[in-house]
Amino acid sequence: MESLLQHLDRFSELLAVSSTTHVSTWDPATVRRALQWARYLRHIHRRFGRHGPIRMALERRLHNQWRQEGGFGRGPVPGLANFQALGHCDVLLSLRLLENRALGDASRYHLVQQLFPGPGVRDADEETLQESLARLARRRSAVHLLRFNGYRENPNLQEDSLMKTQAELLLERLQEVGKAEAERPARFLSSLWERLPQNNFLKVIAVALLQPPVSPRPQEELEPSIHKSPGEGSQVLVHWLLGNSEVFAAFCRALPAGLLTLVTSRHPSLSPVYLGLLTDWGQRLHYDLQKGIWVGTESQDVPWEELHNRFQSLCQAPPPLKDKVLTALETCKAQDGDFEVPGLSIWTDLLLALRNGAFRERQVLGLSPGLSSV
């Protein structure tokens, strides 16, 4: 067991080095050895992937490595992403070496011979490295073809395949971090917030929060799920959002009303904070007598239309959320003086607008409030 773990250590180092200029010192023999090690580990993964103790030992070792590297905060993990990655560690190594311009001519030549020996090389039980690489290339073309010949961004973000994939990856990563205890997941998320394009990140978080409870990622080899359910990941995200008001404000600002309504319905703990934000935004607006509309003082203030939009969306949500929202609005209206006349309290005007909107909607649907329902 110990030798296996050491093997894993050495391979991880190898993998990290394989994308640096250090490979210029590698001779063909080194290349061959590296590939052999990768193959060995892949074989181990295949044989012991279901074997609880061995798997756990390997995972723990990987987590150790990450802790030593200072956690996830530093950027892309130079080594293996997770235990499943062992299943294709040879592909990982091969691709890094192939891309590395620092590799010497003789070594590169040898590498290519090893990776692509030509036809007639078949392995009875396992897929050869050549086949794996060819299949990766084929799948990439497939994604490319579908992306540019049939894919349309789904207006419901949570059903969009690109978004879903990113969300699944995020949830999976959160799980790993949780297990590795390399750092609190919150810190990990904060580091991502600083590094990644924020708009996309926010969307991914929203989609992740809307994922159905059980959705394990497809693996090439079947593995029993010894992990906790992905629902844990959502909890982590909610917790983090609640703990980072700046992020949450951006979250509520950037995402469309409908999406936020869905998220808040699904995760009720978010609704008080969301409503709080909306209230704050509302209070920043004042009534412009001349124009006859509610306006903000600064450019980044949320305009009336958007505010109205969000409240409207929330009111279309099923109870208890809908009721909470209406109650909150009524409370604000009461605090302002409980006016019925427009132009004095934004909450009055909002409630009026919402009721009118609802009335009009019922008319459109053919339901007049005067008639009793059939």
Partner 1 sequence: MAQDSVDLSCDYQFWMQKLSIWDQASTLETQQDTCLHLAQFQEFLRKMYEALKEMDSNTVLERFPTIGQLLAKACWNPFILAYDESQKILIWCLCCLINKEPQNSGQSKLNSWIQGVLSHILSALRFDKEVALFTQGLGYAPIDYYPGLLKNMVLSLASELRENHLNGFNTQRRMAPERVASLSRVCVPLITLPDIDPLVEALLICHGREPQEILQPEFFEAVNEAILLKKISLPMSAVVCLWLRHLPSLEKAMLHLFEKLISSERNCLRRIECFIKDSSLPQAACHPAIFRVVDEMFRCALLETDGAPEIIATIQVFTQCFVEALEKESKQLRFALKTYFPYTSPSLAMVLLRDPQDIPRGHWLQTLKHISELLREAVEDQTHGSRGGPFESWFLFIHFGGWAEMVAEQLLMSAAEPPTALLWLLAFYYGPRDKRQQRAQTMVQVKAVLGHLLAMSRSSSLSAQDLQTVAGQGTDTDLRAPAQQLIRHLLLNFLLWAPEGHTIAWDVITLMAHTAEITHEIIGFLDQTLYRWNRLGIESPRSEKLARELLKELRTQV
Q: Which of 118, 212, 213, 369 binds partner 1 (CB under 8 A)?
A: 118
Q: Which of 1, 53, 68, 105 binds partner 1 (CB under 8 A)?
A: 105
The number of beta carbons lying within 10 Å of the beta carbon of residue 60 is 13
* Binding segment toward partner 1, per CB under 8 A, in 211-219, 227-235, 279-287, 298-306: 211-219
Residues contacting partner 1: total by CB under 8 A: 65
Per CB under 8 A, 45 contacts partner 1? no
Q: Long-range contact list for 87-90, CB < 8 A, 24+ apart?
A: 87/42, 87/45, 87/46, 87/49, 87/219, 87/220, 87/221, 88/42, 88/132, 88/220, 89/11, 89/15, 89/38, 89/41, 89/42, 89/45, 90/35, 90/38, 90/39, 90/41, 90/42, 90/129, 90/132
Q: Which of 137, 295, 344, 367 binds partner 1 (CB under 8 A)?
A: 137
Instruction: Report DSSP state, residue 101.
Output: T
Per CB under 8 A, 202 contacts partner 1? no
Q: Long-range contact list for 277-286, CB < 8 A, 24+ apart?
A: 277/248, 277/249, 277/252, 278/252, 278/307, 278/310, 278/311, 279/328, 279/332, 281/307, 282/307, 282/332, 282/346, 282/347, 282/350, 283/346, 285/346
Q: Which of 12, 42, 168, 237 binds partner 1 (CB under 8 A)?
A: 168
Q: Which of 29, 56, 142, 226 binds partner 1 (CB under 8 A)?
A: 142
Per CB under 8 A, 144 contacts partner 1? yes
Q: At what angle do helices 89-99 and 129-149 cross, to 10 degrees?
A: 80
Instruction: Report DSSP state, residue 301.
Output: S
| Cβ pair 44, 4 in contact under 8 A | yes
* Binding segment toward partner 1, per CB under 8 A, in 46-54, 134-142, 231-239, 365-373: 134-142
Per CB under 8 A, 34 contacts partner 1? no
Per CB under 8 A, 126 contacts partner 1? no
Per CB under 8 A, 217 contacts partner 1? yes
Per CB under 8 A, 166 contacts partner 1? yes
Shortest spacing between CB 101 and partner 1, in angstroms: 7
Per CB under 8 A, 309 contacts partner 1? no
Closer to partner 1 at the Cβ: 76 or 292?
A: 76
* Binding segment toward partner 1, per CB under 8 A, in 107-115, 251-259, 330-338, 355-363: 107-115
The number of beta carbons lying within 10 Å of the beta carbon of residue 324 is 17
| Cβ pair 172, 217 in contact under 8 A | yes
Distance CA 215, CA 307 (A): 34
Binding mask 75-104 for partner 1 (x = CB under 8 A): xxx---x--xx--x--xx--x--xx-x---
Hey, what are 247's tokens?
């992020």
Closer to partner 1 at the Cβ: 5 or 81?
A: 81
Binding residues vs partner 1 (CB under 8 A): 72, 75-77, 81, 84-85, 88, 91-92, 95, 98-99, 101, 105-106, 108-109, 112-113, 116, 118-119, 130, 133-134, 136-147, 149-152, 154, 159-162, 164-166, 168-170, 173, 192, 195-197, 200-201, 204, 217-220
